[in-house]
Amino acid sequence: MKKHIHPVLKPTVFACGNCGTEISTASTRSDHASLEVCSNCHPAYTGKVVTSVSGSRVDAFHERYGVR
């Protein structure tokens, strides 16, 4: 293997912009970086996702044009 071709990993702290949670990991980026949304405050992970299911597209078609 070639020597010195891999990037150097440094300990990095990513901070969430919404809730302020800090995640420590290794990265090639700077010592401190920011995230827009983390798993602690994202609606898909917290279970606060609001979905409105009013029927399928087939039901909408039948309602609009009638069933033959």
CATH code assigned to 10-65: 4.10.80
**If we measure between CA atoms, which residue out of 45, 47, 53, 21 comes closest to residue 35?**
21
Task: Write out the H or E segment, with its range, that includes residue 18.
Answer: none
Scan for tokens 């009013």, then name that residue.
54
pTM for the structure as a whole: 0.51
Query: What does the domain layout of the chain look like in residue ranges?
Result: 10-65
Q: Which residues of the chain have pLDDT under 70?
A: 1, 49-53, 68
Give residue 50's pLDDT: 66
Give residue 40's pLDDT: 82
3-state secondary structure of 22: strand
3-state secondary structure of 54: coil
Give residue 51's pLDDT: 65
